[in-house]
């Protein structure tokens, strides 16, 4: 896997917070912490997209029986579009 580097400025309070999280042992380094935050944000966006699809379905009119196949298709659509 090819890795890209990013550089950005953080206020000292944020940098100190990240350093404390790393020192706490949950993360091996700053990059691990930031990657975890991004993964969590991606998961939250996928969940928001899934909820939007459900709301759209509920507002779309007459219902039909919900099967596990339909649920799987909706999940695929939600996660595929989120990234």
Domain boundaries, the chain: 12-82
Q: For position 1, what pLDDT does the model report?
A: 66
Q: For position 58, what pLDDT does the model report?
A: 87
Q: For position 81, what pLDDT does the model report?
A: 63
pLDDT tens-digit readout, 5-21 = 999 999 999 999 999 99
Beta-carbon contacts of 77 under 8 Å, excluding residues fewer than 6 positions away, are 53
- Which residues of the chain, if any, have pLDDT below 70? 1, 81-83
Q: For position 82, what pLDDT does the model report?
A: 53
User: What Å distances lie between residue 7 and 4, 31, 68, CA to CA?
Assistant: 10, 11, 44
Q: For position 83, what pLDDT does the model report?
A: 53
């Amino acid at each position: 896997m090819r890795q890209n580097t990013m550089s950005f400025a953080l206020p000292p309070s944020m940098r100190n917070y990240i350093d404390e999280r790393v020192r706490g042992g949950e993360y091996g380094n700053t990059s691990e912490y930031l990657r975890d935050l991004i993964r969590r944000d991606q998961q939250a966006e996928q969940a928001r997209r899934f909820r939007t699809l459900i709301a759209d379905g509920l507002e779309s009119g007459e219902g039909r029986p919900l099967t596990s196949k339909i649920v799987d298709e909706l999940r695929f659509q939600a996660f595929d579009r989120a990234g």
